[in-house]
Structure 1
């Protein structure tokens, strides 16, 4: 946004109206619960007893104000890009010559995903952590077309406004796609892209001989492609329809996201109920269930190949695990790490592993490190 020829970046403070918190409490207290088949377990979906436990904690044990105060210790800002309000956290390293990194979350995550990696990564990097348009304090969106490429172009503009001429990008889930798209739309600016989620589709024409473990990974991908998860189908085909239920019912919003956390995390590295409820509260209190779901609808657009160096971290309990020979056909892979623990939400589950891998890619890889250093030296 321009005002008098100047780009406006405004400090932002989280301050949810008390009336919204009271309304949430009232709705939770009046939940109309379905019945459940005896000994159903997970056979029919999320277990009733566990959901009741989470809902009651959200209503009577969870303290949004305490988490809000903690979050407000971070430096939050907003700006308008391409007609859309953009919220972001901007943490500068004590090293003025540090490389900048833009960290991008996915669904059903938020900027909260990166809370536990801010401290270790900010020792070596300036961090920019935006909320995707349509998510949280960057939502809702009000027009068509906010796909991965458009988000990436917004990130390129954001980094330009902040004065970063060269920077890295990191993300998982949609954040991985956005980070790779950023490398495609701004290759002269992006020194490298690190992802902790990189789906690799079968390519019968590749003529590759895959290892037994790679064949197992590929079989899992084929199974997912043949049996599209229900949540994904609904968000990809009718995000507005499911949005009504999630925006009107806090328990609906709760189970929609809690199921993903339950199924996509490594049982050995669980995410606390408090952290999960803060993430879910963010969706509920900003009424962004529908607008965040629209990204799944919009995301089908193909993007240009990312020409910059790519680093990949593969976690054992993720939705799928990348097949390196297939990934190398599409990307300039310079760094590849395999971890025997951790799941889809790596920044929340195993922040120490992810932070170390990000640091290793951007600071230890000679090509990536050199690209960043040369530009920062020339900018002096």
Structure 2
């Protein structure tokens, strides 16, 4: 059960534009059932190779399950969520859940941040304080943001679409409605993974008031280069060293690292197993990309590196408790074949952060071609695909730098 409460004096639900306060609350029985299912997992034999080439390794999955089924405490995450201002509002017939934290500093720049898959608002919780309260993190009050973090339709506490059509183009339009509904007529947007696609489409739509975007998974591949990488062809002639490296990394993603994308893009409803088995869901979520998986595997071996065991399980557990594994998967079906990493035609100012363990290191040359109004390009020393989650201070500092010229 998810509880949404209306405070006295708030508008009723009959007003579709009402902004209603929200709190998450799940009964103990659901948490007990989750543990029961984890501990009743029927395990296969281990993989027949010594690496991850056959998928998520048995030892990693069993270490995750041991902790999840005995020590992990969802209530800690629930308390952190409920300590934040959370809301629901209906947009285009669907409830949208979002966190909204205003800065104490005057003239804060409104910012909407969008998560990705396999993800949720859990990914962005660590960047809220660095962005809204920059003076506590070594930055200036003039760098402050008001932060809005929505849950993508079908994810977390947002409504689950019951008809087709909730694709990234529609979500991008909905985010502008949300920001205008909150009274923000001048704002910026940020995203990685699906959030990057949605944010870039906002930049393509360029609604009045959206003055710039920031991405940490930039769509910079020229169409012919993207198509060649997808087909498995050798790198085109004439690429620079940086461009060739980006091409090879993208080709690896297409050829060996994005099996989940094809499954969800083509047959998402078939994935009943991840809706029925917590460990099945966890393994599926861990298999996003090789570098992220390597980090997570080390975490479950006892190392502390960017993420903790609780970070990882908070993100999986919110999906389990809201039963959004398949409603989230269908986003891939809605956008399949449209292109995740290709140039989309953004016309407004763009800031780019390049993290070394991202799916590919975006070359400056392609970023400059993709974004005619590139206002910031920076290569960071540490961080991966889930940079806001893994390295929140580094990530937040570069977001501040990226948007500074637009204030």
**Contact 1:78 1:88 (8 Å CA) reproduced:** yes
The structure richer in strand per residue is 1
The range that moved more, 62-71 or 101-110, is 62-71
Match of residue 131 from structure 2:
121
Secondary structure (helix, strand or coil) at the match of 2:207 reads: coil
**Contact 1:86 1:130 (8 Å CA) reproduced:** yes
Match of residue 237 from structure 1:
266
Q: In structure 2, what is the Cα distance between the partners aligned to 1:184 and 1:43?
A: 38
**Contact 1:166 1:190 (8 Å CA) reproduced:** yes
The range that moved more, 17-26 or 98-107, is 17-26
Question: 1:216: Cα distance to partner?
Answer: 1.7
Q: Alignment partner for residue 179 of structure 1, among 199, 202, 226?
A: 199
Q: In structure 2, what is the Cα distance between the partners aligned to 1:59 and 1:9?
A: 36
Q: Does 2:21 match 1:11? A: yes
**Contact 2:116 2:195 (8 Å CA) reproduced:** yes
The range that moved more, 276-285 or 295-304, is 295-304
Question: 1:4: Cα distance to partner?
Answer: 6.7
Task: Give the structure-2-normalised TM-score.
Answer: 0.84
Question: 1:354: Cα distance to partner?
Answer: 1.0
Matches within 5 A, 1:101-140: 101-123=111-133, 124-140=144-160
Question: 1:271: Cα distance to partner?
Answer: 1.5
Q: Give CA-to-partner distance per residue, 1:219-238, whole Å, 9 cap, x none.
A: 22234334462111101111
Match of residue 391 from structure 2:
350
Match of residue 254 from structure 1:
282
Q: In structure 1, what is the Cα distance between the partners aligned to 2:210 and 2:172?
A: 11
Q: Alignment partner for residue 321 of structure 1, among 361, 373, 377?
A: 361
Q: Does 2:52 match 1:23? A: no
Q: Does 2:396 match 1:360? A: no
Q: Give CA-to-partner distance per residue, 1:154-193, whole Å, 9 cap, x none.
A: 1111111100001000110110111111222243211110
Secondary structure (helix, strand or coil) at the match of 2:104 reads: coil
**Contact 2:291 2:357 (8 Å CA) reproduced:** no
Question: 1:34: Cα distance to partner?
Answer: 0.7
Secondary structure (helix, strand or coil) at the match of 1:343 reads: coil
**Contact 2:286 2:293 (8 Å CA) reproduced:** no
**Contact 2:258 2:289 (8 Å CA) reproduced:** no
Q: In structure 2, what is the Cα distance between the partners aligned to 1:151 and 1:248?
A: 28
List runs of 5+ in structure 1 lacking aligned partners: 370-380
The range that moved more, 181-190 or 220-229, is 220-229
Match of residue 56 from structure 1:
66
Question: 1:203: Cα distance to partner?
Answer: 5.0
Q: Give CA-to-partner distance per residue, 1:185-230, whole Å, 9 cap, x none.
A: 2432111100011143355599995431222222222343344621
Task: Give the structure-1-normalised TM-score.
Answer: 0.89
Match of residue 341 from structure 1:
382
CA change 1:22–1:330 in 2 (3 A) is same
Q: In structure 2, what is the Cα distance between the partners aligned to 1:205 and 1:55?
A: 41
Secondary structure (helix, strand or coil) at the match of 1:60 reads: coil
Q: In structure 2, what is the Cα distance between the partners aligned to 1:362 and 1:37?
A: 46
Match of residue 314 from structure 2:
278
Q: Alignment partner for residue 165 of structure 1, among 185, 202, 208?
A: 185
CA change 1:167–1:266 in 2 (3 A) is farther
The range that moved more, 201-210 or 254-263, is 201-210
**Contact 2:354 2:362 (8 Å CA) reproduced:** yes
The range that moved more, 82-91 or 319-328, is 319-328
Q: Does 2:329 match 1:293? A: yes
CA change 1:273–1:3 in 2 (3 A) is closer
**Contact 1:315 1:341 (8 Å CA) reproduced:** yes
